[in-house]
Chain A
Amino acid sequence: MAVRKNQADLTATEKRNFVDAVLELKRSGRYDEFISTHNAFIIGDTDEGERTGHRSPSFLPWHRRFLLQFEQALQSVTPSVMLPYWDWTVDRSPRSSLWADDFLGGDGRTGDGRVTSGPFAFGSGKWPMNIRVDGRTFLRRSLGTGVRDLPTRAEVDRVLAMSVYDAAPWNSSSDGFRNNIEGWRGPNLHNRVHVWVGGQMTTGASPNDPVFWLHHCFIDKLWADWRRMHPTSPYVPNGDTPDVVDLHDTMKPWNDITPADLLDHTKFYTYA
């Protein structure tokens, strides 16, 4: 069974295989297609209009499918590679092994935020910013400056305790688990992590930073945890909701998979 591990538990070989596969997807052009897709949905998903990838109930299943697709792309390079997750309630410091030079590389430098170490540093020549919102062509980070602290375990537990998956109006003003984990309401979990990392992670082109995948993998794990805690709480809405992906509606851009198909992650992988 395919197992997604905590990034802190990866072996040196697993880290190297993950990084090398990511770099190969970048080299071949496939990586940037993921950035383009994400950015398009970031722009297109609106509170009063059609919304699929964000600010809507399908935020969680959409990203689950998006990550599965990326993971499959990695496995086309190296079959053993699995996405790792970053538990930012535990690994809360810029000194975490996550940011070491044998994995994602470090914080950005003072002044322009440029990441200068690790496999994704501009100097490596292997990580160009082709899909970007401004003229800067180097990966940037500014860990802990946009917001001082990452979410705590207590804040996560508060959100996990919410028994309702989502609620009308099914957008950034909703109550319920989905909007609280996404971060438009409540303690602000997912959104805040993007801001904490800084650099490209604060933009619509956030997958430019490979930490995007580890962050969303943890969000995906929290959804799995939530479903285990609330086995009788269904995905909602489940019928004929304008602009919103109902339980059995297919999701763009794939048009061949529904939230219902994605609720049980154990069909695809488990979490260690």
Chain B
Amino acid sequence: MSRPTRRQVLYGSAAALTGAALTAPIALAGTAAARPAEGHGHPAEDGHPAPDGHSGHDMPEPFDEMYQGRHIEGWPADEEGMRKGGAQKAKSRKAHAGHGSGAPHAAHPADHGGMHDGMDFVVRIDNDDLHVMRNADGTWISLVNHYQTFSTPQALARAAVRELQGAELVPVITG
């Protein structure tokens, strides 16, 4: 098994980031924007849903901050697509153009369309992508803290920083 190189694989086209989940006829919950970010990123009660799940359907707001010496940022994945304009879109497209260009696309063994299926939000730590996923109740998990739910992507990103203890994220070979 060769060692995965940084920036290897993982990313399909930016179009894959539009995320079918966003157009699914499902009342997605958890409007994090209305809540203060958790300073300590405590998961909602050991993996329990946030108490206000099912209260709304808005995506959390983008964030961009230094946290414990790491640059964490995040924005809704649909900004990667054709729905919204603005600087974020240009920035994220540019960033993605550098992702594993020419590298073989890591096929999910279950033939998922792309690694970003189900990814509603882009989260980066020092410009490396952290895979995140939104739960049906509006809470969030990341690949670093996958068995623990957080009420916002920002809380999740901060928790990942604490978990990483300075280590860099590496794209994971999945296939």
Chain A complexes with chain B: yes
Interface, chain A (partner B; CB < 8 A)? 29, 32, 36-37, 39-44, 46-50, 52, 55, 112-113, 130-136, 146-147, 169, 171-173, 183-185, 188, 190-192, 194-195, 202-206, 252-253
Binds A, one of B57-65, B69-77, B91-99, B130-138: B130-138
- A44 contacts B147, CB within 8 Å? no
Contact A172 to B118, CB < 8 A, known contacts A37-B109, A134-B170, A135-B167:
no
- Tell whether, in the assembled complex, residue B147 and residue A195 are in contact, meaning their CB atoms are under 8 Å apart: yes
B24 at the interface (CB under 8 A from A): yes
Q: Which of B72-129 contact A (CB under 8 A)?
A: 106, 108-112, 115, 117-118
Q: A131-B4, A134-B144, A195-B47 are in contact. List 7 more A-B contacts (CB 8 A).
A: A39-B172, A41-B110, A55-B135, A130-B1, A130-B4, A134-B168, A205-B172
- Chain B residues within 8 Å of A, Cβ to Cβ: 1, 3-4, 20-21, 24, 26, 46-49, 106, 108-112, 115, 117-118, 131, 133-137, 143-149, 163-165, 167-170, 172-175
Cβ of A32 and Cβ of B1 under 8 Å apart?
Answer: yes
| CB pair A49 B47 closer than 8 Å | no
List, in ascending order, chain A residues with CB within 8 A of B146's CB.
Answer: 42, 194, 202-204, 206
- Are A136 and B167 also in contact (CB < 8 A) when A46-B21, A49-B21, A171-B136 are? yes
Q: Contacts A40-B108, A43-B108, A46-B21 given; indicate if A194 touches B147 (C-beta within 8 A).
A: yes
B169/A134 in contact, CB under 8 A: yes
Task: Write out the residue numbers on chain B whose beta carbons fall within 8 Å of the beta carbon of A169.
Answer: 136
Contacts of B169 in A (CB 8 A): 133-135
Report how many A-B pairs have Cβ atoms within 8 Å: 141
Least distance between A175 CB and chain B CB atoms (Å) = 12
On whether the beta carbons of A133 and B109 are closer than 8 Å, the reply is: no
Q: Which of B48, B106, B170 contacts A188 (CB 8 A)?
A: B48
**Looking across the interface, which residue of chain B has its beta carbon closest to that of A38?**
B174
User: If the complex has contacts A184-B47, A191-B47, A194-B147, are A44 and B117 also in contact, measured as CB distance less than 8 A?
Assistant: yes
Quick one: closest A residue to B175, CB to CB? Answer: A40
